Chains A and B, each alone.
Chain A
Amino acid sequence: MKEHEMIVQLSIPADAQFLDIARLTLYGLAAKMGFSYEEIEDMKVAVSEACNNVVLHAYNGRSGDIHLRFEMSADALSIVIKDEGKGFDYERAAKQAASLSGKPLKDVKVGGLGLFLMEALMDDVRVTTKGGTEVRLTKFRHHGEGEHAHDCISPSSVQEQA
């Protein structure tokens, strides 16, 4: 399945002003692969959420990098977002990852929204925290399906490696 995988890599400083560069790169590659406008918009948000976490949490105000790796295969695009920071507590964040619907406004907390969106917008999300954090986001290509691709939202697959 992965025989013709092609890889593009990009490293940017973990600084918010470079997040648009990550989105532009993603847009270029996903469009080249034939993903739809909606799918690309979904992936832009998911990748940005992973990068936001690096900018906000990974390096404690010290300088560091975000490493993006775009793995293009015939049936999927995977984006790996990696840092060498202190290791974001994704397991704890995963417990808070939920939509805000049905809650009274005063109880609404937005802390878990980033991870929630990653899971809602991608087909697969895997997180490993070992020597930094690595988030692997995958979108499968839905060849010629009339159905809306967003119907297949994968269940939470956040894992923590000891």
Chain B
Amino acid sequence: MDQKRFHLVHDEQPDRHVVYIKGELDLAAAEQFQRTVEPLASDASKPLVLRLEDLTYIDSTGIGMFVALLKTRHQLGAPFAIENVPPKVRRLFDLTGVSYFFSEMNDATERIGGQS
């Protein structure tokens, strides 16, 4: 059961915000996700990275929030990436078409990373 319980771990590193998303990101977890991640998303001074290796469930609720984050970061011109996407989550990203936007943003992250 613990594996399913949703929780977030924010690791603030000197050069980026890393958020580990663990458990089931469903409608019940949406508010907690937004409360934690939105303030970080509005900080344009550092890249934002979501680590998904322990994400055990996602549906359109979570995908919708990821798209909102993509838009926010895009408007700010700030780097945003997702890392370590589990296969079953990747499949839903591919099906819904959000993978395309993430790969685009990942490229931007790499470019910005390369300038430093």
Chain B residues touching A, majority SS = helix
Range, interface on chain A: 20 to 34
**Can you name 5 extra interface pairs (CB under 8 A) apart from A16-B30, A38-B88?**
A19-B27, A99-B97, A102-B97, A105-B101, A108-B67
Does A5 count as interface, using CB distance less than 8 angstroms? no
Give the number of chain B interface residues (Cβ < 8 Å).
Answer: 24
Does A160 count as interface, using CB distance less than 8 angstroms? no
Does B98 count as interface, using CB distance less than 8 angstroms? yes
From A56, which residue of chain B is reached at the shortest CB distance?
B27
Contact present for A49 and B60 (CB under 8 Å): yes
Q: 1/0 per position for B88-107, CB-CB distance to A under 8 A?
A: 10001001111011000000
Cβ-defined partner of A113 (8 Å) among B26, B57, B63: B63
Does B10 count as interface, using CB distance less than 8 angstroms? no
Given contacts A52-B61, A99-B96, A105-B101, contact A19 B26 (CB under 8 A): yes
CB distance from B114 to the nearest CB of A (A): 22
Chain A residues touching B, majority SS = helix
Chain B positions near chain A (C-beta within 8 angstroms): 4, 24, 26-28, 30, 57, 59-61, 63-64, 67, 70-71, 74, 88, 92, 95-98, 100-101
By CB atoms of chain A within 10 A, which of B4, B92, B95 has the most? B95
Contact present for A45 and B74 (CB under 8 Å): no
Does A100 count as interface, using CB distance less than 8 angstroms? yes
Contact present for A117 and B28 (CB under 8 Å): no
| Residue contacts A-B, CB under 8 angstroms, 29 given | A17-B28, A20-B4, A23-B57, A38-B88, A41-B88, A45-B59, A48-B26, A48-B27, A49-B60, A52-B26, A52-B60, A99-B95, A100-B67, A100-B96, A100-B100, A101-B97, A101-B100, A102-B100, A103-B97, A105-B71, A106-B71, A106-B74, A110-B64, A110-B67, A113-B96, A114-B60, A116-B96, A117-B59, A117-B95
